[in-house]
Structure 1
Amino acid sequence: MTSFVHGIALLGFEDFALAQGLDPRATLAEIGLPCDAKDGVISGVQFNTLLELCARRSANPLFGLQLGLQQGAQALGNLWYAIQNAGSVGEALQVLIQYFHVHSNGAQLQLECHGGYARLMYEVTDGEAHSVRQTVELAIGISAHLMQGLLQHAWQPHSLQLRHSPVAEPSAYCRLLGITPHFNNSVNAWVFDERLLNIPLSTADQRLRQLVREHLDELARITLQELPSYVQKLLRTWLPHGQVCIEQVAAHMQLSPRSLQRYLRAQNTSFQALLDDTRQALATRYLRESSLSLTQLAGLLGYADLSTFSRAFKRWNGISPQQWKHHQQSSPAAVSRAVPDRHGE
C-alpha cells in the first residue's frame, strides 16, 4: 500500500534543517518535493526518505527525534485541536488513534492496557518504506511532547520501547527524552501508568470538541479529494516545460500509474480529465493575458502541433482559438455569449 502524509508533517522543517547545516529547499528538491510541500499531501515514502537523507547529510543520527520534539503536537494539524478538547487523557488518545489515518495513512497507533500499565504503540505500516528509524523517532518526539502537554508534571513514563537498535549513544536519548529507551523490542511504545488515562483535561470545551470531531469526520471522508488538486498543481507547473504523462506524475509521487489512476477514479476523475481541464484553464488564461502565438501556446500546453491543440480547444469551447481570441479582443463580454456551457453539450 502506498501511503500519504499531510504536508503539515513538515512543520518547522525548513528552520530546523538550516540549523543542522542543510539547504532545506535543495534537500526537498533532491527527493522530488516542491518547496511548498507543507501545503499539500506528500507520499509517505518521500517523507521517510527525506528524514533518512537529512540524518545522513547532517551527520545527526537523532535528526528525526529532535525535529519531532521541536514540532510538538502542532505537527498533527487539526488532530491537535480535537485532542486538546477531549474530556480526559484516555479520550484524547482514543481520538488520536481514531483519526490518525487522516494525518497519515501509512502508520497506525494502538493503545492497550495490561497489568496496570498502558502502552501507546506506533507502527509504520507502509511496506514500501525500507528504513523507518527516523520516522519512528520523529513520532516518538511528537508523542513525548503531546503527553507532556496533556499531563504536565504527571507525565512520568515507565519505559520507552523501540524496535530498532540505537542510532546514537543511549545517553543522548536520555538527555532529550528524560528516559533511556529499551532497544530491539518487538514494538515501538510508550509504557506508563494506566491510571493516567483517567486524568481529566481542564482545557476541554464540549462545544468545540463536537465541532472539531465533525470536522475530522469530514476530513476522514475527503482526504483523497486533495489528490486531484495536487495532480493539477503538478500539471500547471510542468506543462510549460513540455509534454506531461501519467508515468511522470506517478513517478514523482512514488506511485505506480495504476495506483494513481485508482485513487483518482475514487474521486470520480482521471488523469486525462485533469490534464484536459488544466490545459483548458491555461489556454484561456494565456490567450487572454499574453501575446504568444497559437503555435507557441500549443507547445506550452504539451501538444504535438497546432492542429491537435485547435481541435481540443474547439471541443472545450465550441469555437476555434482564433475565433475565441477575436471575440476577446473585440468584446470581452461577447466571449461568454459565444462560448457554450460545457454542461449543456
Structure 2
Amino acid sequence: MSQKPVTKGNIWDFRRGIATARVLTQLGFDHGVGVDAMLQHTGITRAVLDDPAAEIEALQEVQLIRNLLHALPHLPTLGLIAGTRYHVTTYGLWGFALLSSPTLGAAVSMASRMLNQTFALTTNSVEQHDQLVQVSYHSDHLPPDVRQFIIDRDRAAAVTLQREILGRPLGYRRIQMRRAEPSPEVANAYAELFGIRPEFGQPRDAGIFDASLLHVPLPQADTHTMQLCEQMCRRLVDSRKARTGVAATVRNRLMRTPGHIPDMEEIAAEMRMTSRTLRRHLTAEGATFRGLLEEVRSTLAEELMATAGLTHGEIAERLGYADVTTFIEAFRRWKGVAPSTFRRTQGLPPPSSGQLRRRFIPR
C-alpha cells in the first residue's frame, strides 16, 4: 500500500543545532562573504554562532541560505558545494549512531525516522518494492527562491554521509530531478556527485538503488571520520570524569571502533602486554577494566538517549551488548531504574521506531 509523506507541520520546521549555521557561514566566508553579511536579518549573532550548544529555528537557516545566495549568485553549484561540507561528525552523537549502524538498511531506517536530528529542510520518504529502494526528497513547503539550493544541499549531504559510512560511493541505479536540464557545468557536477547522470524534468526528486545494499554490513572504513567520532565521544566521557595514564589509554580504545567494543585480552595485545599486566597497571591507578567499560557505556547510553533518540535495542547494539535484555539489566545497575523509566523521569522523548514505506517504484 502506498503511503504519502507528510510535509506539513513540524516535520521540517524544527529547531536545529548551530553546526549547520556554522557550515553555511564558513562556506560564505571562504568565498569572500563577511560574517555580518551572512547573518543579516537572521537573528543569529556572532555569540550564538560561537556557542556549540546553541540552536536556531528552521526559518533562520532559510534566511541564512537566502543571504548566501544573494552574495554568491555566480556559483550555480553552491548547494552541492554546501552539502559536501556536512560530515558524519557534523551531526554530533547522532552521527556516531549512524556510523555505528550494523547495516546500511539500519542507518537508512534510523535517518528516515530521526529527521529532526539532522539539518535537512527537505522531507523525505524511503520506499521499497521488489529489488529497488527509492529515496524521495520533498520540497514544495520551501520558499521558491531557496528551494533548489536546499534540494541540492540536502541531497549532497546525504551522498556525503553515505560515502563516509560505507567507505565508498553507494552506487545509484537512477537519479531523478524535477528541475529542467541545467547547463553542462551543473549537469556534470551532479553526475560527479552521484556517480551517474541525473534524469531531469522528472515528476520527483529521488534516488533509486538496489535493495540488496540495505543488507550490506557497514565497514566503518573512513578512518578520518572514525577518529573524529572517537574524539567527540572522548570529550563527552572526559567531561564526566577525567582519566590519565593506562586507564585513559584503555578508555580511549574502548571508544575507537563504533559498534565493536574490544575485550580486555584484545586491548592488552594491542598494548603489547598480557591481560594480567594490564590489570596490574589499572589496579595501581585505582581502576578496573570492567569499571572503565561501564563508564563508557553508561555515558554513551545516556547521551544516545538524549541526543540521538535511538531505541534501546539500537543502543545495546552500538554499545556491544549481545541483546537488549542484557543492556537493560546493565542500565538498571548504573542508574537504579529501567531505561524507559529514566527517559520518562528525565523528560526525554520515547525512542522512535518506524519501517520503510513501500510502494511500486517504476523501472
- The normalised TM-score by structure 1 is 0.55
Report how far residue 95 of structure 1 moved.
Answer: 1.3
Equivalence for 1:215: 303
- CA deviation profile, 1:111-164 (whole Å, cap 9, x unmatched): 211241112233347566764211111111111111112223362111222233
Amino acid corresponding to residue 46 of structure 1 in structure 2? Q
Determine the C-alpha separation between the residues in 2 that align with 1:199 and 1:142: 21
Q: 65, 76, 81: which is aligned to 1:51?
A: 65
C-alpha distance in structure 2 between counterparts of 1:133 and 1:154, whole Å: 23
CA separation of 1:14/1:105 partners in 2, compared to 1, >3 Å: closer, same or farther?
closer
Q: Which of 173, 195, 201 is 1:184 aligned to? A: 201
Counterpart amino acid of residue 215 in structure 1? E
Matched, 1:12 2:11: no
CA distance in 2, matches of 1:23, 1:145: 27
* Structure with a larger share of its residues in helix: 1
TM-score by structure 2 length?
0.53
C-alpha distance in 1 between matches for 2:29 and 2:307: 32
Assess, with a 3 A threshold, how the Cα gap between structure 1 residues 127 and 155 changes in structure 2: closer, same or farther: closer
Contact 1:163 1:184 survives alignment (8 Å): yes
Is the 2:17–2:56 contact (alpha carbons within 8 Å) kept by the matching residues of 1?
Answer: yes
1:161 and 2:171 matched? no
Whole-angstrom distance in 2 between the partners of 1:112 and 1:178: 21
Unmatched 5+ residue regions in structure 1? 222-266, 268-345
Identify the residue that residue 161 of structure 2 maps to in structure 1: 146
Q: In 2 relative to 1, CA 63–96 (structure 1 residues): closer, same or farther, beyond 3 Å?
A: same
Q: Return the letter of the residue paired with 1:120.
A: V
Alpha carbons of structure 1 residues 30 and 61: separation in structure 2 relative to 1, 3 Å? farther
Verify the 8 A CA contact 1:123 1:188 in the aligned structure 2: yes
What percentage of aligned pairs have identical amino acids?
Answer: 18
Secondary structure in structure 1 of the residue aligned to 2:202? coil
Q: Which residue of 2 is the match for residue 205 of structure 1? A: 259
Greater RCO (Cα-Cα under 8 Å, separation 6 or more): 2
Matches within 5 A, 1:191-270: 191-203=208-220, 204-205=258-259, 215-219=303-307
CA contact (8 A) 2:98 2:111 kept: yes
Describe the SS at the equivalent of 2:154. Answer: helix
Separation in 2, partners of 1:42, 1:173? 30
User: Is contact 1:113–1:194 with CA below 8 Å preserved after alignment?
Assistant: yes
Structure 2: 5+ residue runs without aligned partners?
1-8, 221-257, 262-295, 310-346, 348-363
Tell me by how many angstroms 1:90 deviates: 0.5
Size of the alignment, in residue pairs?
222
Aligned-CA RMSD value: 3.2
> What is the identity, as a one-letter code, of the residue corresponding to 2:71?
R
CA contact (8 A) 2:175 2:206 kept: yes
Moved more, 178-187 or 87-96: 178-187
1:31 and 2:42 aligned: yes
**Which whole-Å CA distance do the structure 2 matches of 1:213 and 1:98 have between them?**
19
1:179 to partner: Cα distance = 2.7
2:114 aligned partner: 99
